[in-house]
Amino acid sequence: MKVSDVRAVPGFISVATILLIWFVVPVPDGVTENAWHLLALFVGTVVAIIGKAMPIGAIAVLAITLVAFTGVTNDNPSGAIKDALSGFSNSLIWLIGIAIIISRGLVKTGLGNRIGYYFITLFGKKTIGIGYALALSELVIAPVTPSNTARGGGIIHPIMKSIATSFGSSPDNGTSRKIGHYLALVSYHINPITSAMFITATAPNPLVVKLIADATGANISITWGTWALAALLPGLVCIALVPLVVYAIYPPEIKSTPDAKDYASSKLAEMGPMSYGEKVMVGVFSLLLILWAGVPAMLFGSDYAVNTTAVAFLGLSILLITGVLSWEDVLKEKSAWDTVIWFSALVMMATFLNTLGLVGWFSSVVESNIAHFGFDWGVSVVILVAVYFYAHYFFASTTAHITAMFAAFYAAGLALGAPPLYLGLLLAGASSLMMSLTHYATGTSPIVFGSGYVSMENWWAMGFVMSVVNLLVWGVVGGLWWKVLGYW
């Protein structure tokens, strides 16, 4: 880590926040001193993440250190360090880390690009068709790319830029509105939707699963298949709407693109036939999806059920044995190891905030304030989700946002009478869909925004419109779908 990685002002604010809560703000009635002190460390950590005081992995190491040395979870030093490191034993964290490593194969073999160009050959006659081609490409690779940034910014965005450039659409020449402006907005707004459709489509989703399980005493443990089935219909409806909504608000100047299919075909021709590595990747992805969806257990009984994280390890093992990925590739996948570290720290802190009763106390405060208005649970849930969702204007990290607010808002909704699985699925969807709002909402947004095709004014306007559309679809279409499925 370089000295330039440390930002003094956000770091000072983070430390000051910890000291203020720890020493100045009185401990509320009904809250233990240890719980309050852990809250101080937790809030300070979130502030440091939001302010980017240091890389998030480094912040996580400091958080683990502080929990271990302050003894806020355990008076015994040996117990304290075990508590501080307990997040590393969470299998969902390793699911995401290993899946990120597996997704490296998409880039290494070129399979991600092949998928994108293939869909453009099918739907590329019209500009709106290219939008759908990019959307379908995102959807196909989403289940096995837990980094929405790698998926949207590293795979889809370069394809989108090459298509726009081929039509003479460039920010440098003032021709963004030809086609690039439209494709940039479509490709970006698909990214939060695909992230909401699978547990393995973005890193914080397993945290949501754990927080729901903790809040319900493990009565609700959302599986990969349950999440995917629940998000299937609302997700597909949202994906179908994005190219149309963007087209209605910001129509491209070029509406017919007969050359796009030829361009994509030429790119596929350059790539040649599918390589050995690509074929292995297709086989591994198919195997992962079959096992994650629980197909063996459905066909042959519960004795054939497999653990989701074990399946990820199986996929990685196959890629290593076949030589598609090398051990050097595994070691070089910094984002995976970074995710395991920061994720473990945040899960550990969130877990002990719940164990020490702080989440329960805060959720009761939220619940009592909403209950004061006398609304039924339906209206109360609308208020809760809206506040939770639009608070993301103040966050540059979905992980920090979820860690800071999800557990308390979910518990408050339960106390207000909302059906547990309905509320969990709605908040889970909102936790990804909120990435649509700003140009700093998640790692993908500064990449796409930074390409210069979309002004900040257009970005925020489109973000708000899509936020309303997505929330309505997830709440109404999703709610009805979950009713049909018997989830509430």
pLDDT tens profile 43-73: 898 889 878 899 888 999 999 999 999 999 9
For residues 207 and 349, is the Cβ–Cβ distance under 8 A? Answer: no
Confidence bin at 2 (pLDDT 50/70/90) = low
pTM of the entire predicted model: 0.79
182 has pLDDT over 60: yes
With CA atoms as reference, report the closest residue to 337 among 60, 51, 9. 60
Q: What is the pLDDT of residues 295-337, one digit of tens each?
A: 888 788 888 888 888 988 999 999 999 999 999 999 998 888 9
| Range 447-473 average pLDDT | 91
pLDDT value, residue 315: 92
User: Looking at the DSSP assignment, which residues form a beta bridge with residue 126?
Assistant: 256
With CA atoms as reference, report the closest residue to 113 among 327, 317, 272. 272
pLDDT value, residue 1: 52
- What does the alpha-carbon distance between residue 325 and residue 89 come to, in Å, rounded to a whole number? 25
450 has pLDDT over 70: yes
With CA atoms as reference, report the closest residue to 453 among 133, 218, 171, 80. 171
What is the residue extent of each domain of the chain? 1-84, 92-325
pLDDT value, residue 397: 76
| Range 189-213 average pLDDT | 93
**Alpha helices (runs of H) in 179-273, residue ranges in sequence order:** 180-197, 205-215, 224-249, 258-271
Q: What is the pLDDT of residues 369-423, one digit of tens each?
A: 888 888 889 999 999 999 899 988 877 678 878 988 898 899 899 988 999 999 9
User: Looking at the DSSP assignment, which residues form a beta bridge with residue 256?
Assistant: 126
With CA atoms as reference, report the closest residue to 424 among 218, 193, 226, 209. 209
Q: What is the DSSP letter of 302?
A: G
Place of tokens 């969807």: 429
Confidence bin at 102 (pLDDT 50/70/90) = confident
3 has pLDDT over 60: no
With CA atoms as reference, report the closest residue to 409 among 390, 385, 392. 385
461 has pLDDT over 90: yes
Neighbour count for residue 12 (Cβ, 10 Å)? 12
pLDDT value, residue 5: 76
Q: What is the CA radius of gyration of the chain?
A: 23
**3-state SS assignment for residue 29:** coil
> In the chain, pLDDT over 70 holds for what percent of residues?
99
Confidence bin at 429 (pLDDT 50/70/90) = very high
With CA atoms as reference, report the closest residue to 150 among 122, 183, 93, 108. 108
